[in-house]
Amino acid sequence: MTANAEFVAAKDRLLEATLPNVLFDGWSLAGLKAGALAIDLPEAQIAVLFPDGGTEAALWLDDWADRQMLDALDAIDLKALKVRERVATAVKARLAVLGPHREAVRRAISLKASPWGAAKAAEIVYRTVDAIWYAAGDTATDFNFYTKRALLAAAYGPTVLYWLNDSSEGSSDTFAFLDRRLGDVMQIPKLTDGVKRAVKHLTGPFEFLRQARR
C-alpha cells in the first residue's frame, strides 16, 4: 500500500468511526474525538487527517461514498443494462451506501452552504457525476461530455434531497423520482442546436473542473 493509499485508508477509518456520532455531535471536533477514541487513534492524529476539523470530514464523506459506490458497482454486470439503467443503478448504489447515515448526509449538505463548503461543493458534485457516467461506460466528448454531467448533477442533487425525506418502503418514491429526472438527462442526443446553445452555459464550471483534475 502506498503512502497516499495509507493516508486515505486512515481518513476513511476515522470517518467511519465518526459517522455514528454525527447524530449527537454534528460534524464537529467532539464527534471526531469520539470517533478517534472508538478506534484507539491518538487525538493528535485528528488534525493530521482532517486539518479543518468536522467540516473537512463532512466533505470527505462524499469522496468515501463515491469509492464505496464504485466498489459496489464492480459486483454488477452493468454492460447487461441499458445506459439509463446503469446510471440509475449507480445512483441507487451510492444512496444505499449512505442509507445508514442520512442525518450525517443532511448535516453535511448544510455545511456546504458555508463559504468553506461552497467552494468545494461544485468539485464534489462534478466528481460524483463524472464517476457515475464513467461507470456507465460513457464515451462522450465535447458538448455531450459536459452536458451529460451538468444535467445529471441537476438530477442527482434533487434526488438526494428527496431521498432525505423519503419514508417509502425501500425508498421506492425516491427511485421513481430519479427515473423521471433521468428521463430528462437521456434526451440529450435529441436536443436541437438552439436548446444546446441555451444549455451550454450550465457546462462552464464542469469544463473548468475537468481541466483542473487533469
Q: State how far Cα 118 lies from the chain centre.
A: 14
Residue 108 is assigned to a structural domain of this protein: yes
Which residue is listed with cell 418502503?
169
Residue 164 is assigned to a structural domain of this protein: yes
Residue 11 is assigned to a structural domain of this protein: no
Contact indicator for 102, 22 with CB cutoff of 8 Å: no
Q: What is the pTM of this model?
A: 0.86
**Residue 208 — very low, low, confident or very high, per pLDDT cuts 50/70/90?**
very low
Radius of gyration of the chain (CA): 18
Residue 9 is assigned to a structural domain of this protein: no
Reported for 16-23, long-range contacts at CB under 8 A and 24+ positions apart, including other chains, are 16/64, 17/41, 18/57, 19/61, 19/100, 19/101, 19/104, 22/101, 22/103, 22/104, 22/107, 23/103, 23/104
pLDDT digits (tens, 9 = 90+) for 28-54: 999 999 999 999 999 999 999 999 999
Number of domains in the chain: 1
Residue 155 is assigned to a structural domain of this protein: yes
**Neighbouring C-beta atoms of residue 82, cutoff 10 Å:** 11
Q: Domain range spanning residue 94?
A: 79-213
